């Protein structure tokens, strides 16, 4: 198993996972912004009160500290929106900012797609 790029994850339709308040993404990235429900998350420091991020060899865990169960928060038509940058790309080049929409699929899958022009999301 090797670390995948975000592009590869999306083009190969590889799904993430969720368990309770834990989101497991099959890639590694630097995170700039997460919107879950009406919560805007910008603090990804160790002291951050909203999320805790931990990287494993091939994947990333995001724990939403204020949530008990992601399935309760993110409903049928909603998505978790993420702005992330691939590990090997420049954080300072705005063209490298990838905007992702994550929708949940029972029992534990996470569909990962790019946010389209039609979707409402402010970078």
Partner 1 sequence: MLQPLFIFSGHIENTLLPHWSAVLPFIFLLLAIATGPVFFRHLWEKHYSKVSIVLGLIVAAYYIFALKDSQSILHSVTEYISFIALLSSLFVATGGISIKVSKEGTPLFNTLFLLFGAVISNLIGTTGASMLLIRPFLKINKDRIKPYHIIFFIFSVSNVGGALTPIGDPPLFLGFLRGVPFFWVIANIWYIWLPAILIILSIFYIIDKQNNPVLKSTTAKKDFHIEFKGLTNLFFVMIILLSVVIDKNFFPSLPDFSPLPFGIREIIMFAVVFLSYKMSDKEALRLNEFDFEPIKEVAYLFIGIFLTMVPALQLIAFESNAYRDYLTQGSFYWGSGTLSSFLDNAPTYLNFLSAAMGKFGLDVNNMADVKEFVVRDDSYLRAISVGAVFFGAMTYIGNGPNFMVKSISERAGIKMPSFGRYITHYSLPVLLPVFTIIWFIFFR
Under the rule (CB under 8 A), what is the footprint of partner 1? Answer: 33, 35, 37-40, 49, 66, 75, 77-79, 81, 94, 117-123
Closest separation in Å from C-beta 62 to partner 1: 16
16/113 Cα distance (integer angstroms): 11
Which residue lies nearer to partner 1 by CB, 40 or 91? 40
Quote the CA–CA distance of 55 and 53 in Å, as a whole number: 7
Residue count (the chain): 123
* Cβ pair 98, 114 in contact under 8 A: yes
Query: Least separation, in Å, of the C-beta of 115 and partner 1?
Result: 10
Minimum distance between the CB of residue 103 and partner 1, rounded to whole angstroms? Answer: 9
Region label for 27, one of left (φ > 0), alpha (ψ between -120 and 50) or beta (otherwise): beta
Which CB atom, from 34 or from 53, has the smaller least distance to partner 1? 34
Report the residue number, 25 or 82, with the smaller CB distance to partner 1.
82
């Amino acid at each position: 198993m090797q670390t995948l790029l975000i592009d590869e994850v999306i083009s190969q339709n590889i799904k993430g996972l969720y368990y309770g308040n834990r989101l497991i993404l099959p890639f590694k990235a630097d995170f700039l912004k997460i919107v879950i429900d009406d919560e805007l998350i910008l603090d990804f420091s160790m002291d951050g009160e909203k999320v805790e991020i931990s990287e494993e060899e091939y994947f990333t865990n995001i724990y939403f500290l204020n949530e008990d169960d992601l399935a309760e928060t993110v409903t049928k038509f909603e998505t978790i929106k993420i702005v992330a940058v691939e590990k090997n790309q420049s954080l300072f080049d705005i063209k490298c900012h990838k905007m992702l929409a994550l929708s949940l699929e029972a029992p534990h899958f996470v569909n990962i797609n790019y946010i389209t022009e039609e979707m409402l999301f402010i970078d």
